[in-house]
Amino acid sequence: MSVRHSLLALLSGGAMHGYGLKTEFEAATADVWPLNVGQVYTTLGRLERDGLVTAEADAEGQKVYEITGSGRDELRHWFETPVPREVVPRQELAIKLVFAMRSGTADVAAVLQRQRVATVRALQDVTRLKAAAESSGDLAWLLMLDGLAFQGEAEVRWLDLCQARLAQAQRPAGQAPQRAEPAERAAERSGL
Amino acid sequence: MTVLEIDRAARVYGSGRLRVTALDGVSLRVGAGEFVALMGPSGSGKSTLLRLAGGLDRPTSGQVRLAGRDLASLDEAGLAAVLRRQIGFVFQEANLLAGLTAAENVALALELDGVKPKAAHAGAHGLLDSLGLGAVRGRFPAQLSGGEQQRVAIARAVAGGRTLLLADEPTGALDALTGESVMSLLHQRAAAGCAIVLATHNVRHAAWADRVVFLDDGRLAGETGPQAGPECLLGTVR
């Protein structure tokens, strides 16, 4: 998460105090990523050092921050540049599966199923927040929740494939899967 | 109030070497206003379970009760009457009648229930308005988008106060945004008291349900339990 660019984005709408930036940031992300006020001031100090913002004291002696032309260029560049994807993210779940497979003692299918239930439960929570965001018309928050929902979906689909591959690997060679295909096909024919 | 109760239902097709157990002792209870999603790989028994729930097939053993009544105790005419008045079906295709407008499609379902034509049309208009479909009620299916057709099909399926809605991949043919609008509508119907059972491969859509039940090889493989609420998620993200 780029606090630096998020602060520049908030300042592009007008000058603000450090504390106001913290509150606005948290409101925009519905408190999912709380910001430490120290982190805000450290980042503002660096932005000022790099000439991306200026700071002036108001009548009460508090610093008001304003974005500069270079700051706007930096922000535009951020919007124009795709976020780099880690090719192999260090993901705890993937690591757990690798070692569950290697251990020879873990019930890998049970590991997969427990994770699937947990991930779908988290996805249900995201969906409830989405329904609320839709009613309140909070589009930016809704887009973020959609992102979380798609990440959850990707994980569940991956778990499904892991389970199918595991079942395939455990079947004796040449044995067809024990699936109830006739019922499913009959159901499709009847339209259900 | 329990609307649908499936008690240790099994469904076996064929015999001898061709014997296939599509469903193996599955129990499921769905209350009024409860939205349950069934998930599982192809052949896991989702469609078989929906067919049993909808009275379109009978279990080899076990019971299916609708509002407390065992469907096996009904004769063909009695079963048809119960199914028509209490259960609505939605499929991947909307299957609206092409020669009728959206409102007429919904009104027809009410007329089949014995509602007089004038009252059926008024009821259809009211229902479509309440579902945000008032603007399209005079249009024919060919004049509706895929999402609008599916939402009209849902209106038709719940018309007349049907207490149970069975939906099999209703969003399968829709884009992401339209799929969301269909799920949002199902969610609203559940909030209005309708019991809903949805079979889907799409986990984002299943997540609209109060409870997600996983099937594998005809057996229950797990389910999401009572919800802790969104705070739980925010805690995880933090």
What does DSSP assign to residue B2? E
By CB atoms closer than 10 A (0-12, 13-18, 19+), residue B38 is: buried
Nearest to B234 among A32, A179, A188 (CB): A32
pLDDT on residue A174 = 61
Closest Cβ–Cβ partner in B11, B41, B224 for A117: B224
Asked if A192 and B42 come within 8 Å (Cβ–Cβ), the reply is no
**pLDDT for A181 beyond 70:** no
pLDDT reported for residue A169: 87
A158 and A123 co-located in one domain: yes
**Domain enclosing residue A63, as ranges:** 3-80
CA distance B121 to B115: 9
Domain stop point among A46, A80, A114 = A80
Could you tell me the pTM of the whole model?
0.79
pLDDT at B238: 31
**In a domain? residue A152:** yes
Please indicate, yes or no, whether residues A121 and A151 belong to a single structural domain of this protein.
yes
Assess whether A72 and A18 both reside in one domain: yes
Q: In the listed set A80, A102, A135, which residue is the last one of a domain according to the structure?
A: A80
Q: Which pLDDT score, from 0 to 100, does residue B63 have?
A: 96
| CA–CA min distance B134, chain A (Å) | 19
In a domain, A187, yes or no: no
Residues A61 and A97 in one domain: no
Got the DSSP string for A173-184?
Answer: TTPPP---HHHH
Taking the C-alpha atoms of residue B65 and residue B87, their distance in angstroms, rounded to an integer, is 12
Per-residue model confidence (pLDDT) at position B176: 87
Query: Are A100 and A30 part of one and the same domain?
Result: no
Minimum-distance CB partner of A117 among B54, B222, B228: B222
pLDDT > 70? residue A88? no
Give me the domains of chain B, ranges plus CATH numbers.
2-237 (3.40.50.300)
Instruction: Examine the domain organization and report whether A97 and A69 are in the same domain.
Output: no
Buried b (16+ CB within 10 A) or exposed e, A38-58: eebbebbeebbeeebbebeee
- Please indicate, yes or no, whether residues A75 and A104 belong to a single structural domain of this protein: no
Residue of A117, A126, A156 lying closest to B233 (CB–CB): A126
CATH code for the domain in which residue A73 is found:
1.10.10.10
Q: What whole-number distance in Å separates Cα of residue A15 and Cα of residue A35?
A: 19
Q: Give me the amino acid identity at B22.
A: A
How would you label A105-139 residue by residue, b for 16+ Cβ within 10 Å and e otherwise? eeebbebbbebbbebbbbbbbbbbbbbebbeeebe
Residues A97 and A76 in one domain: no
Contacts of B50 in chain A (CB under 8 A): 187, 192
User: Would you state the pLDDT for residue A1?
Assistant: 57
Are A55 and A35 in the same domain? yes
Q: Is the pLDDT at A175 greater than 70, yes or no?
A: no
Domain harbouring A106, CATH code: 1.20.1280
Of residues A121, A125, A179, nearest to B43 (C-beta): A179
d(CA B90, CA B137): 19
Q: Is the pLDDT of residue A57 over 90?
A: yes
Does residue B37 surpass a pLDDT of 90?
yes
List the alpha helices (DSSP H) in A50-180: 69-80, 92-103, 108-136, 139-170
Do the Cβ atoms of B214 and A187 come within 8 Å? Answer: no
Q: Of A80, A105, A140, which residue sits at a domain end?
A: A80
Contact B28, B48 (CB under 8 A): no
Q: Residue window 8-47, chain B: list those with CB within 8 Å of chain A.
A: 11, 13-14, 20-23, 39, 41-45, 47
* A66 & A96 share domain: no
Contact B27, B221 (CB under 8 A): no
* Predicted complex ipTM exceeds 0.85: no
Same domain, A62 and A105: no
Which residues lie closer than 8 Å to B90 by C-beta, 6 or more apart? B150, B153, B154, B157, B165, B166, B167, B168, B170
Put simply, the answer to whether B224 touches A121 (Cβ < 8 Å) is yes
pLDDT at A91 over 60: yes
Which residues of chain A have a CB within 8 Å of the CB of B233? 122, 125-126, 129
Per DSSP, what are the bridge partners of residue A56?
A64
The whole-number pLDDT of residue B182 equals 87
Proportion of chain A above pLDDT 90, given as a percent? 48
pLDDT at A191: 45
- CB of B222 within 8 Å of a chain A CB? The answer is yes
Reported as a pLDDT band with limits 50, 70 and 90, residue B227 is: low
Q: In this predicted structure, which of A149-158, B34-43, B160-169, B173-182 has the lowest mean pLDDT?
A: B173-182
pLDDT-derived band at B218, boundaries 50, 70, 90: very high
Asked if pLDDT for residue A36 goes beyond 90, the answer is no
Which residues in chain B have their CB less than 8 angstroms from residue A131's CB? 184, 187, 208
Backbone angles phi, psi at B81, to 5 degrees: -65, -45
Which residues contact residue B119 at a Cβ distance below 8 angstroms, ignoring those fewer than 6 apart? B110
Q: Does B51 touch chain A (CB under 8 A)?
A: yes
Give the pLDDT of residue A188: 47
Longest dimension (CA), chain A: 82
pLDDT for B17 beyond 90: no
The Cα–Cα gap between A128 and B61 comes to: 37
- Total domains present in chain A: 2
Predicted confidence at residue A176, as pLDDT, reads 57
Across chain A, mean pLDDT equals: 85
Answer whether B42 sits within 8 Å of A179, measured CB to CB: yes
A76-85, B8-17, B151-160: lowest mean pLDDT where? A76-85
pLDDT higher than 70, residue B217: yes
pLDDT in tens, B71-116: 999 999 999 988 888 999 998 888 999 999 999 999 999 998 889 9
CA dihedral sign, ordered A134, A138, A139, A140: negative
Which residues, at least 6 apart from A118, have a Cβ–Cβ distance to it below 8 Å? none
Give me the residues paired with residue B165 across strands: B88, B196
* Residues A41, A71 within the same domain: yes
Residue A96 tokens read as 């757990």
- The Cα–Cα gap between A12 and A10 comes to 5
Tokens of B193: 């008291």
Q: Is residue A137 part of a domain?
A: yes
